[in-house]
Amino acid sequence: MTQLSKSPEPALEPIEVRSAGGVSLEGELVRAPSVGRRKSNAVIFFHGFPSADVSSADTGRDMPELCQRICVDFGWDAMTVRFRGCGQSGGEFSLARWVDDAASAIRFLKAEVQPDTLWICGFGTGGSVGLVAGVDSDDVTGAVVVGAPADFDDWAADPDQLLAHARKAGVISSTRFPPDRQRWDAELKEVRAVEAAERFRDRPLLVLHGSEDEAVPHFDARVVADAHGLAELRFVQGGGHQLRHDPRAVSVLLAWLDRTALSQSGQSRDQLI
């Protein structure tokens, strides 16, 4: 695989994506130079759930760097958004509404850059909800899920603990939310990446996981890959849950995206530029 010649970092363009309920999501878009391109590829990067170390205000702040890297190295358009409750995005956390947010982001990128192929790449919870949203979109060519849970049954088993964590992390700020607690709890059982993977089997999927992931067992990765049937399953030896900051994992996912997009087109990189 031959990378494009290095060039200055492309500009990050602030964007606003409107999601379900009129919620505004903040994000960034990086546009690759169009001169000489015969084929265009685009990707959306989805962040994970706020942790004890990273609050909702800072969640997803490292995604724009990935956008710039794939744009510079491979000539892709790239975009990221902060899910509702994170960063400057509006709204409060709901698992089903995060799926809506991911679907809204997919539609936005498709309309904005009209790529020949459109890919999604999500980390942790973002990988799961991205896959669930992507399977219902004909615009999505393929996907990468990194450290993503196969389901949220652990959360569903103790929703009170999840709600307390969500409030502490800041992804839920209103004391009156959720207005329908029963519905909010039910969503935790309804959003299932493993079922989405099975329906995604006609499209390429990379399942990437740390062998020492302390948050999501590597069994989840195997379950998702098995459900798909043809997924490429890769484990980063010694890697934990935060693979976004593991250079080995980032290299694998970016290279897989570029290689798989090329194979989908049936052309070599030299033919595309």
Q: In whole numbers, what is the pLDDT of the chain averaged over residues?
A: 93
Cα 231 to Cα 38, 43, 141, 204: the distances in Å are: 28, 18, 14, 7
Does residue 109 lie within any of the structural domains? no
| In-domain check, residue 188 | yes
Tokens of 34: 């169009």
Per-residue pLDDT tens over the stretch 210-239: 999 999 999 999 999 999 999 999 999 999
Q: DSSP letter at 246?
A: -
Q: Is residue 136 part of a domain?
A: yes
CB neighbours of 69 closer than 8 A, spacing ≥ 6?
250, 254
Tens digits of residue pLDDT in 112-167: 999 999 999 999 999 999 999 999 999 999 999 999 999 999 999 999 999 999 99
Strand order in the sheet with 142-146: 13-18, 24-30, 77-81, 41-46, 117-123, 142-146, 205-210, 232-236
- In this structure, is residue 104 part of a structural domain? no
In the structure, what pLDDT confidence band is assigned to residue 36 with cuts at 50, 70 and 90? low
Residue 57 DSSP label: T
- Counting the structural domains of the chain, the total is 1
129 close to 95: Cβ distance less than 8 angstroms: yes
Q: 77-81 and 24-30 as β-strands: parallel, antiparallel, unpaired?
A: antiparallel
More confident residue, 59 or 5: 59
**CATH number of the domain that 223 lies in?**
3.40.50.1820
* Residue 267 confidence (pLDDT) above 80: no
Query: Among the residues of the chain, which ranges form H helices?
Result: 63-74, 95-113, 125-134, 153-157, 159-169, 181-190, 193-199, 218-228, 247-265, 269-272
Report if residue 105 sits inside a domain: no
Does 149 reside within a domain? Answer: yes
Q: Quote the CA–CA distance of 175 and 167 in Å, as a whole number.
A: 9
- The answer to whether position 200 is within a domain reads yes
**7 part of a folded domain:** no
- Find the domain containing 135 and state its range: 13-98+114-264
